[in-house]
Structure 1
Amino acid sequence: MDILQNLGLGFETAFTPINLLFAFIGVALGTAVGVLPGIGPTATIAMLLPITFGFEPVTSLIMLAGIYYGAQYGGSTTAILINLPGESSAAVTALDGHQMAKQGRAGPALATAALGSFFAGTVGTLALALFAVPISQAALLFGAPEYFSLVVLGLIASIALASGSVLKALAMIVLGLLLGTVGQDTFSGTPRFTFGLRELYGGLDFVALAVGLFGVAEILRNLEGDITRSVMVQKVKNLWLTKDDFRRIRGPVLRGTGLGTVLGVLPGAGHVLASFVSYSVEKRVSKRPQEFGKGAIEGVAGPESANNAAAQTQFVPLLTLGLPVSPIMALLLGAFIIQGIVPGPNVINEEPALVWGLIASMWIGNLFLVLLNLPLIGLWVKMLTIPYRFLFPAIIAFASIGTFSINRNPFDVYAIAFFGILGYVLIKLGCEPAPLLLGFVLGPLLETYLRRSLIISDGDPTVFVTRPISLVLLLLALGAFVIAVLPTVRKKRDVVFEEED
């Protein structure tokens, strides 16, 4: 009965006119940035963080969450119609989705993506609702040593599950940890790494860092390519699925939903990993594997279900443990902190309307997405004709003004420029900025829990291995690191993140 009462409170909160409006705005923006290649939900959420400071906490989080899972829908639209994935998790959808479009079956491909996404999003949100309270109650047993070990596990697992070089991912984590130490020492108040600048006494501004690394840097990277685009899309004639289509997608949708629900809680790009793993599974279990890559409807149903289920369950560690498992969750953690709320096991009891309102809004948002995506396909694709020379300057100006408005400090605008250039340089060097953001967000937590643990134990470092839960978490972290550096595992991991021909 408790969960029904909690969901009742959640829907009561989510159904207020202002929250319904911002849920709609969030999923509409998410669809738009999912359609537009080169922007993406991470950059969009980073850019919008400044303006959310003036909203009610639940309203701002409903909108930001809607942008994230809405982008999963939008990314599939252009992947299917013009073979241009707007979101990284939609790359695998393009393999068969675009082939279906070329065969005159764009409508069934889009309908499959929408229906699979809706079902998976609904189930993923249900899993979030069911597991939020039990995990939060279990987390109340954690002390400082357990939380330290949990953060270590999160950081190591994000390295193990990242694509590309393990060494570069580790370097980005370390750089993020170092940037997180800038400012006054939380225990003694002594300034660290401030270089005499008063503006750094409070630490590096999270919003400025996020906007620079993920907004400005991404725009600079996109300016290298062809900034003129011509879009040729055939008219979508029929969105109805045949009985044979329904029969063929039933299994992939169920399997993809299950995979995404589980993989979404893993640190790293869980929704991207889920879509690629789902595609591999469907190809292996199919009676017609030769059709994959040539227009197999299962190749659309499975991955789209997987990435949307994962997008919902990524909220489980954030809301219950205060642990972000992806860059977007780190940005949402920042949104909580901006509002003066610390996610973790106590937030469900202290802010029940916020947590359950957010969960309920995901069901509403998924319904909005079905209504938005299928009837308005033409509108979303026409957005691709907006010239980047108008779009990019407007985005940068909007983000800079919003960041400045939070603290009224010109230094924050300089910080955006600095981190934008840094992010661009890192991209050119083949280093993804995402682990850096996780290190920056989790670094202060890591330091705080480490020092609290040593104070509690009178400086005895064995406290981390003499407490059973802490020891298990550290062993899991060690296992993840060993697995990550094994050559055979590294090779298989890289293959998962590569698009199949």
Structure 2
Amino acid sequence: MELLDNLALGFATSLSWQNLLLCFLGVLLGTLVGVLPGIGPVATISMLLPITFVMPPVAALIMMAGIYYGTQYGGSTTAILINMPGEASSIVTALDGHQMARQGRAGTALATAAIGSFFAGTCATLLVALLAPPLTELALKVGSPEYFALMVLGLIASITLAQGSVMKALAMLVLGVLLGTVGQDLDSGTERFTFGLPELADGLEFVAMAMGLFGICEILRNLEIGRSRSPEVSAVGGLMPTREEFRQMVKPMLRGTALGSALGVLPGGGAILASFASYSLEKKLAEQPQRFGKGAIEGIAGPESANNAAAQTSFIPMLTLGIPASPVLALMIGALIVQGITPGPTVMLQQPALFWGLICSMWLGNAMLLVLNLPLVGIWVRLLTVRYHLLYPIIVGFCCIGVLSISNNVFHVYSLIGFGLIGYLLLRLDFEPAPLLLGFVIGPLLEVNFRRSLVLSAGDPIIFLERPATAAMLGLAALALIVAALPAMRRRRDHAFVE
């Protein structure tokens, strides 16, 4: 009964004209971002952060969430039609989706992606509504040592699941945590690492860092790579799958939804990991695995369901613990902190309208996406003809105006440019900036809980080993780091042996 009351509050909040409009704008913009390769949800939300500060927190969160899961839809459109995934999680969809399009079944492929995404998003939203309250109650009963250990485990898991070198990801994570210490000390008020600059007394500007590392950096990288896009698209054809195709879709959708829901709560690229895992699972279970890569409808239904379910359930650790499972959710947490709301288990009690309004808006957003995506296919494809040399200067100008509007301080514009150049340099050296942002957001919370734990134990660090739950989580974090580092250590040893 309590769940029904909470859902009623959530729908009352999300169905207000302002929140409904922002949800629509979020999913529409998310679809656009998913269609256009080279931008992505992280860069988009980074650029929109200044706008969210003048909105009510629930409205800002609903819009940003819509952008996040809307990109999962948009990325599949160009993956199917022109074999150009707009999002990394849509790479798998292109394998069979584009083959179906070449066979004159583009409409069926698009409908399969939309239906699978809507079904998975609906189920995952219900799962978030069911699991969030008990997890929140559990989170309220744990102390600072458990929170510290949980944050360490989450951060370590995020780098072990990330692509590329684990040690480089760990270095970025540590750098992010260190950058989070810039500013005044939490207890004494003493300035730390400000180098005499009064602009750094309150710490580094989160918006400038996010926009620079992802917005400006992505533009510089795309300009270097250069992109050739072909707007030539074959006829979409009929949209409704046949009865036999529906039968082939059902089981992959169910398995993809279950797999994506489970993997979504893991830190790192949950949606990407879920889509690849779903494709591998469907191929192994198929009676004719040779059909995959040649237009198998199961190769679309499973991964599309998995990546959308993962995008929804990734909100569980954010809503219940205040721990982001991805850089996008780290941006959302940063936006809430700027507005004076500390993410975590107390949000559900202190801000129930925000908590349940966001959950209910997810279902509304998925329904909007189902209606939006198929009729607007032609418009999305035409947008691919927009030349990047026109698009990118507009994005850079928007970033500068947005950062300047926060505090009318030119120093933050310099910070934006500096972080953009740093992000580009890091990418050239094969360092991913996403762990840096996660470390920067979680670092202050990590420090707070670490200090509180030491206060409880009168400065004795043994408190982290005395509590079973804390010791277990720290042990898992150490084990995950060792297991992730073993392949690199083995390759280095083999290379030294050959020499």
TM above 0.5: yes
Shift of 1:265: 0.2
Report the equivalent of 1:235.
235
SS at match of 2:340: coil
Report the equivalent of 1:268.
268
Provide the rounded CA distance (Å) in 2 between the counterparts of 1:490 and 1:325. 29
Aligned length: 491
Letter in 2 for 1:468: P
Provide the rounded CA distance (Å) in 1 between the counterparts of 2:344 and 2:187. 22
Report the equivalent of 2:53.
53
Provide the rounded CA distance (Å) in 2 between the counterparts of 1:434 and 1:212. 12
Report the equivalent of 2:435.
435
SS at match of 2:384: helix
Provide the rounded CA distance (Å) in 1 between the counterparts of 2:21 and 2:143. 40
Provide the rounded CA distance (Å) in 1 between the counterparts of 2:473 and 2:229. 49
Letter in 2 for 1:384: L
Report the equivalent of 1:173.
173
Provide the rounded CA distance (Å) in 2 between the counterparts of 1:298 and 1:169. 34
Asked if the contact 1:484–1:490 (Cα under 8 Å) also holds between the matched residues in 2, the reply is no
Give the TM-score normalised by structure 2: 0.97
Mark the CA change 1:488 to 1:293 in structure 2 (over 3 Å): closer, same or farther. farther
Task: Say whether residues 1:399 and 2:396 are aligned partners.
Answer: no
Report the equivalent of 1:251.
251
State the Cα deviation string for residues 137-182 of structure 1 (Å, max 9, x = none).
0001111111110111011101111111111111111111111111
Provide the rounded CA distance (Å) in 1 between the counterparts of 2:289 and 2:311. 27
Provide the rounded CA distance (Å) in 1 between the counterparts of 2:89 and 2:411. 35
Letter in 2 for 1:364: L
Provide the rounded CA distance (Å) in 2 between the counterparts of 1:49 and 1:226. 27
SS at match of 2:226: coil
SS at match of 1:86: coil
Task: Say whether residues 1:296 and 2:296 are aligned partners.
Answer: yes
SS at match of 2:141: coil
Shift of 1:484: 1.2
| Equivalent residue runs for 1:127-276 within 5 Å | 127-227=127-227, 229-276=229-276
Shift of 1:482: 2.2
Asked if the contact 1:227–1:389 (Cα under 8 Å) also holds between the matched residues in 2, the reply is no
Asked if the contact 2:33–2:71 (Cα under 8 Å) also holds between the matched residues in 1, the reply is yes
Report the equivalent of 2:476.
476
Provide the rounded CA distance (Å) in 2 between the counterparts of 1:416 and 1:466. 44
Provide the rounded CA distance (Å) in 2 between the counterparts of 1:197 and 1:22. 38
Report the equivalent of 1:494.
none
Provide the rounded CA distance (Å) in 1 between the counterparts of 2:181 and 2:280. 41
Provide the rounded CA distance (Å) in 2 between the counterparts of 1:339 and 1:288. 54
State the Cα deviation string for residues 340-377 of structure 1 (Å, max 9, x = none).
11111110010000110111001000000011100110
Unaligned runs of 5+ in 1: 492-501
Provide the rounded CA distance (Å) in 1 between the counterparts of 2:451 and 2:373. 50
Provide the rounded CA distance (Å) in 2 between the counterparts of 1:5 and 1:341. 23
Provide the rounded CA distance (Å) in 1 between the counterparts of 2:419 and 2:233. 37
Report the equivalent of 2:455.
455
Provide the rounded CA distance (Å) in 2 between the counterparts of 1:216 and 1:87. 18
Question: Greater CA deviation, 334-343 or 369-378?
Answer: 334-343
Provide the rounded CA distance (Å) in 2 between the counterparts of 1:469 and 1:343. 22
Report the equivalent of 1:336.
336
Provide the rounded CA distance (Å) in 1 between the counterparts of 2:126 and 2:430. 38
Asked if the contact 1:100–1:109 (Cα under 8 Å) also holds between the matched residues in 2, the reply is yes
Asked if the contact 2:136–2:320 (Cα under 8 Å) also holds between the matched residues in 1, the reply is yes
Letter in 2 for 1:329: L
Provide the rounded CA distance (Å) in 2 between the counterparts of 1:88 and 1:194. 38
Shift of 1:490: 9.8
Report the equivalent of 1:312.
312
Report the equivalent of 2:495.
none
Provide the rounded CA distance (Å) in 2 between the counterparts of 1:178 and 1:345. 26
Shift of 1:489: 12
Report the equivalent of 1:324.
324
Provide the rounded CA distance (Å) in 1 between the counterparts of 2:446 and 2:58. 27
Shift of 1:282: 0.4
Provide the rounded CA distance (Å) in 2 between the counterparts of 1:71 and 1:154. 24
Letter in 1 for 2:4: L
State the Cα deviation string for residues 206-264 of structure 1 (Å, max 9, x = none).
11000000100001001113356331111211101011111111110000000000000
Unaligned runs of 5+ in 2: 492-499
Provide the rounded CA distance (Å) in 2 between the counterparts of 1:417 and 1:229. 28
SS at match of 2:196: coil
Provide the rounded CA distance (Å) in 2 between the counterparts of 1:128 and 1:488. 37
Task: Say whether residues 1:386 and 2:377 are aligned partners.
Answer: no
Report the equivalent of 2:94.
94
Asked if the contact 2:104–2:235 (Cα under 8 Å) also holds between the matched residues in 1, the reply is no
Asked if the contact 2:96–2:294 (Cα under 8 Å) also holds between the matched residues in 1, the reply is yes
For the aligned residue pairs, the C-alpha RMSD in angstroms reads: 1.3
Shift of 1:45: 0.4
Provide the rounded CA distance (Å) in 1 between the counterparts of 2:490 and 2:270. 17
Provide the rounded CA distance (Å) in 1 between the counterparts of 2:484 and 2:327. 20
| Equivalent residue runs for 1:71-110 within 5 Å | 71-110=71-110
Letter in 1 for 2:393: P
State the Cα deviation string for residues 57-106 of structure 1 (Å, max 9, x = none).
11111000000000000000000000000001001110111111111111
Shift of 1:136: 0.3
Provide the rounded CA distance (Å) in 1 between the counterparts of 2:315 and 2:235. 37
Asked if the contact 2:82–2:230 (Cα under 8 Å) also holds between the matched residues in 1, the reply is no
State the Cα deviation string for residues 414-461 of structure 1 (Å, max 9, x = none).
100000000011111111110111111111111111111111110110
Letter in 2 for 1:242: T
Provide the rounded CA distance (Å) in 2 between the counterparts of 1:151 and 1:489. 26
Shift of 1:308: 0.1
Provide the rounded CA distance (Å) in 2 between the counterparts of 1:2 and 1:403. 42
Task: Say whether residues 1:375 and 2:375 are aligned partners.
Answer: yes
SS at match of 2:231: coil
Asked if the contact 1:99–1:294 (Cα under 8 Å) also holds between the matched residues in 2, the reply is yes
Mark the CA change 1:6 to 1:83 in structure 2 (over 3 Å): closer, same or farther. same
Provide the rounded CA distance (Å) in 2 between the counterparts of 1:179 and 1:52. 24
Report the equivalent of 1:498.
none
Provide the rounded CA distance (Å) in 1 between the counterparts of 2:181 and 2:340. 20
Provide the rounded CA distance (Å) in 1 between the counterparts of 2:359 and 2:86. 25
Provide the rounded CA distance (Å) in 2 between the counterparts of 1:216 and 1:229. 21
Provide the rounded CA distance (Å) in 2 between the counterparts of 1:341 and 1:490. 45
